[in-house]
Amino acid sequence: MKVLLLGGTGEARTLAGLLTAEGIEVVSSLAGRTTDARLPVGEVRTGGFGGADGLAAWLRDHPVDLVVDATHPFAATMTAHAVAATRETGVPLLVLRRPGWTPGPDDNWHWADSATAAADLLRDLRTSRVFLTIGRQGLDAFATTGLWTLARCVDPPEPRPTWCTLILARGPFTLTDELAILREHRIDVLVTKDSGGPATAAKLTAARRLAIPVLVIRRPSLPIGPEVVETVRDAVQWVIRTNHSSSS
C-alpha cells in the first residue's frame, strides 16, 4: 500500500512514522516554504504540484492508493486542490485537521474572518501594542494600523517589513517564554490564527494570565466531500480500514 501524505505539520510527521511502522509506504509532500523544515520518515518530495490539475497528473504518474491531507488548517488552497484532484482521479482522500482552540471563561477573545478584518478590528479595541503570531503570510494587512507591532515568524517575510519589530522563532513555545515576551514588550493585544494544537497554545494561556485580549482569525471552512478526522490515531485507523476494504 502507498499513501501520499500532504503537509509539513507535526501531525503529518507523526502520521508518517506510524504508517511506516505498519508497513505502509508513505510519500510526504512538503510545500517547501519553510527553511530547515523538520522532515518525516520515508520518501519526501518538496514543492508544489502546479494546482489541482498538476496534482491530478502527479497521481496518474505516481499511482498511490490513498491521499491524506494533513496540511495546516489555513492551507485552504492546497486542500481544495487535493479535493479536486482526488475527485478527478478517483483516489480516496482523508483530511486530518486538529481541532481549533476554544476560549475559556476567563478569556477575552474577539474573532475575525481574515487578516484584513482583524486589522480593522484592532482599531476598535483601543489597543496600542500588538503581538502578531500569524506567520509571515498576511502580515501586510497590519502595516497601516499605526500601532506598535511585534511580529513572530519562523522565516523572515520578503521583503523584510520595516513597520514592525520582527522575532524569528520556531515553536513549541513555553508558558514562561510567552509571559516574558508579553511583559517585556508591554503587549496589550495578541493576534493569532485559530491553528489549534498544543505547540503554540501557551501564548493563549499567557494572555489569560495577564488579562490581555486575544484577536483570533477564524480558520477557513473545509470543502464538502472528503472524510475528516481530528487525530492522528483516527487517521491511522482510517488508512488501515480503507486498505482492508479495497483489498477484500
**Domains in the chain: boundaries:** 2-98+220-247, 109-217
Return the amino acid letter for 93.
L
Q: HSE (CB half, 13 Å, CA atoms) of 111?
A: 9
Torsion-angle region of residue 234: left (phi > 0), alpha (psi -120 to 50) or beta? alpha
| Predicted local distance difference test score (pLDDT) of residue 44 | 93
Pairing of strands 214-217, 189-193: parallel
CATH assignment of 2-98+220-247? 3.40.50.720
Count of Cβ atoms closer than 10 Å to residue 207 Cβ: 23
Provide the CA 77 distance to its chain's centre, in angstroms. 12
The C-alpha cell 490581555 sits at 212
- Mean pLDDT for 122-150 is 94
Predicted model pTM? 0.90
Q: Quick one: cell of 41?
A: 520518515
Cα-Cα-Cα-Cα dihedral sign, residues 117, 120, 124, 130:
positive
Fold of the CATH domain 109-217:
Rossmann fold (3.40.50)
Q: Which residue has the higher pLDDT, 145 or 37?
A: 145
* pLDDT at residue 238, as a whole number: 96
Binning pLDDT at 50, 70 and 90, where does residue 80 land? very high
* pLDDT digits 0-9 by tens, 90-131: 999 999 999 999 999 999 999 999 999 999 999 888 899 999
Are the folds of 2-98+220-247 and 109-217 the same?
yes
Residue 151: predicted pLDDT: 98
> In residues, how long is the chain?
248
- Min mean pLDDT across 1-10, 24-33, 203-212, 227-236 is at 24-33
* Cα 9 to Cα 169: distance, rounded to the nearest angstrom: 16
* pLDDT value at residue 247: 60
The band of 33, judged by pLDDT with boundaries at 50, 70 and 90, is: low
Cα 67 to its chain centre, rounded Å, is 18
